[in-house]
Amino acid sequence: MDKDKLRQLQQQWEQGPLEEALAKSAERPGCAKTPAGLPNQRLYTPLSLDEAGFDYAQDLGFPGQFPYTRGRDPLGYRANYWLFMQYAGCGDAEEANKRYRYLLSQGQAGISVAFDLPTQVGLDSDDPMADGEVGNIGVAVSSLQDLERVFEGIPLNKLRQISLVANAMSSIILAMFLALAEKQGVPVDECTLRIQNDVLKEFISRGAYIFPPQPSIRLTTDVVTYCAENHPAWLPITLCGYHIREAGANAVQEVAYSLANGLAYMDEVARRGAPMERVLPQLSAFCAVNMNFFEEIAKFRALRRLWARLVRERYGVGPEVNLGLSLVNFTAGSSLTAQQPLNNVVRVAVECLAGVLGGCQSLFPCSMDEAFATPTEAAVKVALRTQQIIAHETGIGDTVDPLGGSYYLESLTNQIEERALKMIEEVEALGGSVKAIDQGYFRRNIDESSYEWQKQVDSGERAIVGVNAYQEAEEPPMEIFRPPAETQERQIASLRKLREERDNQRVQQALARVKAVAATEENLIPALTEAVKAYATMGEICGVLRSVFGEHHEGDI
């Protein structure tokens, strides 16, 4: 339709029906802005997009093509659904093995391994700092032997994907995995491995760091370049906005900060001469799906488009290279309430819908009881079924990017991209992510957003059902998962036995080699693989690396 004609019609509507309606009822103040502070207009029309200079070919294009707004895959979900995933792992290796076998028997396509905190920060289960934390929120893996037990009877090449939530110690976990594939006798390239391997977000949000930022980036880069050379089909790094968001960032900060970190890694990968046309298509992003439905869907589309635009020129790759980030969407744990916890089933379902409409490649729903503890098996099953229902019963995947072209959604997508780009430029002006971390830039801005949100909830400006609206005084108790009590003792006993039985001379030699290589620019993965094969432990290996790299300590607020 002719733009002038449309403008005229809109004016008539504004002066007629709209004005009458506004005279009768005031609008809710909460409508005015999204949680990230983006202005919400009353109504979006083709004119809104027109004013923003929107161009279909440049800003949307086609699925699987630059700038990937409409998705990474030309077929969307018409051939395959996204991967139904579930984050799991607790206790010692035997207990984790049992839970994985159960999930696989229920139709889960792959395994995502959660490691306990001592493992994540490079400590053995018998380290004094590990007391009380062994096997608590993930499985304890102090040595290759533990990983062998985790995958007992689960051939690695029979899984569609193995996802390892390994960051500061990702290089050691990769080495263990390579050794494990050899032990199982499976052709390693029949396995698909995804490694989280985003250590910068540990400094910004989650806190599972070991070494200072600079050597941490080196280890991350070792993993990326090793995989690019030897296992090009793997996914050696996942840019994590999730943890940044859960730490209190808003949707725009989530996009900006995770991509700023991505640039820090890719700059280093490029500096080391890795083939960028091989590395870039293997990148994925790990995103939060929170409750504001359209802001979240727009966020995923903006993230893909912004990244593709940022890296195409920066690394000078041709149009044949797929720059569409593969999205790993995880529903927001922080959106779950301890109050009236059954309501969380609904929250997770809504978030799953947004995650899928944003075009994810894999989806992790939270379980309803996560505001209390690690989920029970029953709660995990409901979460898994939620996404199966969405996939098979709603028709959501029957056309590609069904919301593409929505005036509102495209306007939000544009705004998120624009604001996130400004933030990335701020980070770059500070000298990049590492410098910004040193200066407390991220933490300061995230604190501001999370406090602002808390104030909005406390004042009732943002309603959360069961928390500040529709509360109930008495609530029925919920069944809660208890990690088995004997885990820590059992794990420590098996670790001590291992240290007695292994060839300790071989361990010492392997550790000496790790130390020597760490001091050079050479890739550490081969030396680490030898060390884990000798059953050197996580704590021992990180110990020698600490002696070379130093340790990161956090100052007070």
Partner 1 sequence: MPKRHRIMLAKAGLDGHDRGVRVVAMGLRDANFEVIYTGRRQTPEHIVNAAIQEDVDAIGLSILSGAHMNMFGKILELLRAKQSADIAVFGGGIIPPDDAAELKKMGVKHIFGPGTSMEVIVEAINQTMQEREAR
What is the smallest separation between the CB atom of 399 and partner 1, expressed in angstroms?
38
What does DSSP say about strands 193-195 and 238-240: parallel, antiparallel, or unpaired? unpaired
What does DSSP say about strands 110-113 and 87-88: parallel, antiparallel, or unpaired? parallel
The residue among 253 and 413 lying less far from partner 1, judged by its C-beta, is 253
Q: Tell me the Ramachandran region of residue 526: left when phi exceeds 0, alpha when psi lies from -120 to 50, beta otherwise.
A: alpha
Torsion of CA 189, 180, 520, 197, to 10 degrees: 70
The residue among 59 and 370 lying less far from partner 1, judged by its C-beta, is 370
Sheet order of strands, 362-364 included: 83-84, 362-364, 326-331, 284-289, 238-240
The residue among 398 and 458 lying less far from partner 1, judged by its C-beta, is 458
What is the smallest separation between the CB atom of 221 and partner 1, expressed in angstroms?
23
**Cα 412 from chain centroid (whole Å):** 22
Both tokens assigned to 453: 């949100």
**Cα 230 from chain centroid (whole Å):** 24
Closest Cα to residue 89, out of 118, 110, 116? 116
What is the smallest separation between the CB atom of 519 and partner 1, expressed in angstroms?
26
- Rounded CA separation 149/507 (Å): 20
- Rounded CA separation 502/532 (Å): 11
What is the smallest separation between the CB atom of 470 and partner 1, expressed in angstroms?
13
The residue among 457 and 512 lying less far from partner 1, judged by its C-beta, is 457
Secondary structure of 265-307 in HEC code, one letter for each residue: HHHHHHHCCCCHHHHHHHCEEEEEECCCHHHHHHHHHHHHHHH
175, 532 Cβ separation under 8 angstroms: yes
The residue among 277 and 448 lying less far from partner 1, judged by its C-beta, is 448
The residue among 76 and 543 lying less far from partner 1, judged by its C-beta, is 543
What is the smallest separation between the CB atom of 343 and partner 1, expressed in angstroms?
12
The residue among 63 and 118 lying less far from partner 1, judged by its C-beta, is 118
- Rounded CA separation 283/72 (Å): 11
Q: Which helix (H) or strand (E) covers residue 105, if one does?
A: helix 93-105
Closest Cα to residue 485, out of 59, 91, 164? 91
The residue among 167 and 326 lying less far from partner 1, judged by its C-beta, is 167
The residue among 289 and 325 lying less far from partner 1, judged by its C-beta, is 289
Query: Directed axis angle between helix 343-357 and helix 293-314, to 10°?
Result: 40
Binding site for partner 1 (CB under 8 A): 117-118, 120-121, 123, 129-133, 136-137, 202, 205-209, 246-248, 334, 336-339, 370-374, 447, 450-451, 454-455, 457-458, 464, 466-468, 477, 480, 483, 554-557
239, 538 Cβ separation under 8 angstroms: no
What is the smallest separation between the CB atom of 250 and partner 1, expressed in angstroms?
13
What is the smallest separation between the CB atom of 426 and partner 1, expressed in angstroms?
21
What is the smallest separation between the CB atom of 339 and partner 1, expressed in angstroms?
6
Both tokens assigned to 174: 């990769």
Core vs surface per residue 361-386: b (16+ CB within 10 A) or e: bbbbbbbbbbbbbbbbeebbbbbbeb
What is the smallest separation between the CB atom of 288 and partner 1, expressed in angstroms?
13
What is the smallest separation between the CB atom of 190 and partner 1, expressed in angstroms?
35
The residue among 213 and 248 lying less far from partner 1, judged by its C-beta, is 248
What is the smallest separation between the CB atom of 232 and partner 1, expressed in angstroms?
33
Q: Which helix (H) or strand (E) covers residue 328, if one does?
A: strand 326-331
Both tokens assigned to 376: 């029970």
My answer on whether omega of the bond before 39 falls inside 30° of 0, hence cis, is: no
Both tokens assigned to 481: 């998962």
The residue among 405 and 466 lying less far from partner 1, judged by its C-beta, is 466
What is the smallest separation between the CB atom of 415 and partner 1, expressed in angstroms?
25
What is the smallest separation between the CB atom of 550 and partner 1, expressed in angstroms?
15
The residue among 2 and 556 lying less far from partner 1, judged by its C-beta, is 556
The residue among 123 and 139 lying less far from partner 1, judged by its C-beta, is 123
